[in-house]
Amino acid sequence: MSKEENHIPHPYELFGIECGKGWHKLLEPIIGYIETYNKDKDEEHQIKLTQVKEKWGLLRIYVNFGTHELYELIDEAEDKSQNVCELCGTEKNVGTKTSGWMLTLCLDCMKKETQKIGIQQFWQRNSDKKHFIIKTDETIEEL
The domains of the chain are located at 3-83, 94-142
CA distance 39 to 141: 53
pTM above 0.85, yes or no: yes
Give yes or no for a contact between 59 and 78, defined as CB atoms under 8 angstroms apart: yes
Which of 100, 102, 141, 96 minimizes the C-alpha distance to 123? Answer: 96
pLDDT at 3 (0 to 100): 58
* Amino acid, single-letter form, for residue 142: E
Looking at residue 1, its pLDDT comes to: 46
d(CA 84, CA 73): 16
Quick: pLDDT tens for 49-84.
999 999 999 999 999 999 999 999 999 999 999 999
Mean pLDDT per 10-residue section of the chain, whose length is 143 residues: 68 84 97 96 94 96 97 98 98 95 96 94 96 94 94
